[in-house]
Amino acid sequence: MDWINILQNTCRALTGVDAAYFALAAIGLNVQFGYTGLLNFGQAAFMACGAYGIGMTSKYFGIGMWWGIPIGMAFVIVLALLVGIPTLRLRADYLAIVTIALAEMVRLIVRSVRFKQYFGGSDGINGFSIQFRELSPFDPGAQYGIKPFQYSGYTVWTLLVGWALVGIFATLVFMLMRSPWGRVVKAIREDEDAVRSLGKSVYSYKMQSLIIGGLIGMFSGVIFALDRGSVQPDNYSRDVTFYILTALVLGGVAKVSGSIVGSMLFWGIFVFSDNFLRELTKDQPLRIFGVTVMQKIQVGAINYMLIGVGLMLLMTFRPQGIFGNRKEMALDAR
């Protein structure tokens, strides 16, 4: 058992790109789910908007990569209106059903053969990130940082941009939630009818919240795509939203710091258990009392199972997460 390697990987995961893009997506989801009480189960679709936005520009439209960001924003707004207009007047779970369907549809469409010329089918899109690479002040071949937090030059650059975005959006959301707008949104979460009786348009506030959360999620997709240098449709499957939700609930709902710490912890735990189980089954399947319990190829399934169990237990016993305030977890006011 190579403990040093496992612990190094775990530490690297705590501040890695995965944690950064999860944190961005979680901040966005927190605006919708944590502050407004909207059950958006399609955050993966909004992430895909950002990723495909920048992927498509340089590859198919022949314009600069940065145009992908306004294009991705346009995608997000269109999708948010599409799901928001019919469902935001209705009970909370309708939005959940429709967004989960939307996420599935977006994934099917971008991976379809029919639209391959635009979205690249199941192969996805590659080779769009040159402009971003050229901006990097780091030597892509060199290693930076002190062990265990050591990353290659290109990753350091992505990390820097990613965590900077996390910082910016965390600050923005923090300020937004202390503004009059934020107070209205939180009041909607607590008691929609009371807010309506004060003459506020609940519908419009919910829609704004859905779009803002989606836009922040979009940047998460941008960072993810830039890091991998490719856009793959299956990276935006509907389960991704639930993993982000798990990270959010782990850190604490309706707390800006919760989304960030939750994402870091989520990836720390996930990478630890993944590395640990892989070490355990590296040479031979794990046997307990002579029964084969786990083979190498089953490690992935077991890890995701643990995420699901974690989500169930958190939701049952500590829905406010580690840092959250139980009073802010008034999801069932409606």
Q: What's the min distance (Å) between Cβ of 235 and other proteins?
A: 17
* Interface with other proteins in residues 162-181 (CB under 8 A): none
* Interface with other proteins in residues 104-163 (CB under 8 A): 104-105, 108-109, 112-114
User: Using DSSP, how many helices (H) and how many strands (E) does the chain show?
Assistant: 14, 6
Q: What is the DSSP letter of 308?
A: H
Examine residue 321 and tell whether it contacts other proteins (CB under 8 A).
Answer: no
Q: Long-range CB contacts (< 8 A, 24+ apart) of 117-125?
A: 117/60, 118/56, 118/60, 119/52, 119/56, 119/233, 120/55, 120/59, 120/231, 121/233, 122/233, 122/234, 124/55, 124/230, 124/231, 124/232, 124/233, 125/52, 125/55, 125/56, 125/59, 125/230, 125/231
Q: What is the DSSP letter of 162?
A: H
Interface pick for other proteins out of 5, 204, 292, 325 (rule CB under 8 A):
292
Interface pick for other proteins out of 195, 245, 254, 277 (rule CB under 8 A):
245
H/E element holding 169? helix 153-178
Q: What is the DSSP letter of 296?
A: G
Interface pick for other proteins out of 98, 212, 240, 264 (rule CB under 8 A):
98
Examine residue 311 and tell whether it contacts other proteins (CB under 8 A).
Answer: yes
Interface pick for other proteins out of 242, 266, 267, 270 (rule CB under 8 A):
242
Per-residue mark of binding to other proteins, 7-46 (x: CB under 8 A) = --------------------------------x-x-----
Interface pick for other proteins out of 7, 85, 175, 194 (rule CB under 8 A):
85
Beta bridge partners, 288, equal 291
Measure the CA–CA gap between 212 and 204, rounded to whole angstroms.
Answer: 12
Measure the CA–CA gap between 274 and 114, rounded to whole angstroms.
Answer: 36
Interface pick for other proteins out of 40, 158, 209, 246 (rule CB under 8 A):
246
- Rg of the chain, C-alpha, whole Å: 20
Total of residues contacting other proteins (CB under 8 A): 55
Window of 125-133, 145-153, 178-186, 326-334 that interacts with other proteins by CB under 8 A: 326-334
Interface pick for other proteins out of 64, 86, 127, 167 (rule CB under 8 A):
86
Measure the CA–CA gap between 313 and 29, rounded to whole angstroms.
Answer: 20
Examine residue 288 and tell whether it contacts other proteins (CB under 8 A).
Answer: no
In the complex with other proteins, the residue whose CB is nearer, 93 or 191, is 93
Interface pick for other proteins out of 137, 288, 289, 316 (rule CB under 8 A):
316
Could you tell me if 321 and 250 are in contact, meaning their C-beta atoms sit under 8 angstroms apart? Answer: yes
Interface pick for other proteins out of 67, 181, 203, 304 (rule CB under 8 A):
304
Q: Which amino acid is at 266?
A: F
Beta bridge partners, 291, equal 288
Footprint on this chain of other proteins (rule: CB under 8 A): 39, 41, 82-83, 85-87, 89-94, 96-98, 100-102, 104-105, 108-109, 112-114, 239, 242, 245-246, 249, 291-292, 295, 297-298, 300-302, 304-305, 307-313, 315-317, 319, 331-332, 334
